[in-house]
Amino acid sequence: MRMSKMGVRPEKQPPKDAEAINHKLLVQAGFINQEMAGVYTYLPLGLKVLTKIEDIVRKHMDKVGSEVLMPALSPKENWEKTGRFQTVDVLMKTVPANEPSRLKNDSEYVLSPTHEEIVTPLAQKFNLSYKDLPVAFYQIQNKFRNEPRAKNGLLRGREFRMKDLYSFHANEEDFKKYYETVKQTYLDIYKELGIGEDTYVVLASGGDFGKEYSHEFQTLLSTGEDVIYKNKETGEVFNKEVAPEDADNKEKYDTFKASEVGNIFTLHSKYSDAFGYSFTDSDGARKPVVMGCYGIGISRLMGVIAEKFADDKGLVWPKSVAPFSVHLIDIRQGELSGKIYDDLTNAGVDVLLDDRDASPGEKFADADLIGCPLRVVVSDRSVAAGGVEIKARGGQESQICKIEEILDKVK
């Protein structure tokens, strides 16, 4: 991609109202544009990162479920069946402006924050025998939650990108086995995203299910909004909500600030019961379907990764999710820079070419702000020294590389 044709550009200063690091840097670097509190447009660079995260998540989810795409708009009656239409305080409800009956709420809909109310009757339609179970559906889609104070950039939004997976089982034993499979799959995802070493499986509240634990996946983050406690002896990790009474004992527990990047939990038969969803077992008896739910905030992950690896110059993306592998800077060497850009692109390397009419200082500052893994500079000085100048983002020293060796060096 040529920056001169991208249609957007980095800004000189971060937005004045930004509180979180990811908000400041992602807007300033030209990855996202805030439309209102908690709602963002993903610009070309931001969409590249978001798509790469999605691709990694999708690759691993395909091993444990079938991808579908459910509607964002769901019928009110489904939410009334589960009893959540009046109890979910962040639920976004909408009424068509051209409906005369709108005052009677006859045409009210829900902008879904989650999809149990859609996926349960979907599974019920096709999977009615023990031979059909287990089955699992996942999707990657925009969700909506009426957060009272949307803040911290992509870490807490009113419209956000999410991967949600739902599984259906004939019994608790089968569910628990699948639950552990998904838990490991999540850890594999975080490893590939570049945050695996600093992401913990954390015990959390079971919500509606009393004393049972659910599990969160928390990534260590110095600016994180959550606090987690790790038992030094057992290795168990708890969030603040379910932490043991002695969690403040520094000899027994390590305490970290962190940010949630996923969660998994049991639903038992709460939603299958609400829709009358049961299955015929091998003995001919009707039995309830056991369900599980598993979420990963895709856009939230983008914010966490941006915030975790940023430095005083800007963003520092892991290679797996960087918008481009190479940030190629042209300084009065347009023809040679264009050839290098074409050669690398044709070889399958993602390249961002800064061919703008801007000063070298501005181009260098923007390269650090954008945060691609490698910076390659083509200038009179580099050519005189024998080629191009290559420097890793976050590295201290650059080196001269011969032009014919650039591809091998980059790879």
Q: Tell me the C-alpha distance between 93 and 86, whole Å.
A: 10
CA distance 47 to 14: 19
Helix (H, G, I), strand (E, B) or coil at 405: helix
Q: How far apart are CA 319 and CA 30, in angstroms?
A: 19
> Which tokens go with 122?
């979907």
Encode 252-265 in three state secondary structure: CEEEEEEEEEEEEE
Query: CA 28 → CA 54, 120, 126, 366, distances in Å?
Result: 23, 42, 48, 10
Instruction: Record the tokens describing residue 67, joined without a space.
Output: 């991808």
Give residue 411's pLDDT: 85
Which string of b and e fits 339-348 if b means at least 16 CB within 10 Å?
Answer: ebbeebeeee
Cα separation, 387 vs 404, in Å, equals 9
The tens place of each residue's pLDDT in the chain, 411 residues long, gives 999 999 999 999 999 989 899 999 999 999 999 999 999 999 999 999 999 999 999 999 999 999 999 999 999 999 999 999 999 999 999 988 776 555 555 678 999 999 999 999 999 999 999 999 999 999 999 999 998 888 889 999 999 999 999 999 999 999 999 999 999 999 999 999 999 999 999 999 887 655 678 999 999 999 999 999 999 999 999 999 999 999 999 999 999 999 999 999 999 999 999 999 999 999 999 999 999 999 999 999 999 999 999 999 999 999 999 999 999 999 999 999 999 999 999 999 999 999 999 999 999 999 999 999 999 999 999 999 999 999 999 888 999 999 999 999 988
- Are 225 and 155 within 8 A, CB to CB? yes
What was the pLDDT predicted at 226? 95
- Decide: pTM greater than 0.85: yes
Q: Phi/psi of residue 39, each to 5°? A: -135, 125
d(CA 6, CA 320): 22
Name the fold adopted by 3-72+112-309: BirA Bifunctional Protein; domain 2 (3.30.930)
pLDDT of residue 95: 83
Listed in order, the ranges of the chain carrying CATH 3.40.50.800 are: 326-410
Classified by CATH at the fold level, domain 326-410 comes out as Rossmann fold (3.40.50)
* Three-state secondary-structure class, residue 132: helix
Q: Where in the chain is the domain with CATH 3.30.930.10?
A: 3-72+112-309
Q: Is 219 helix (H, G, I), strand (E, B) or coil?
A: strand
> Taking Cα atoms as reference points, which of 45, 35, 47 lies closest to residue 327?
45
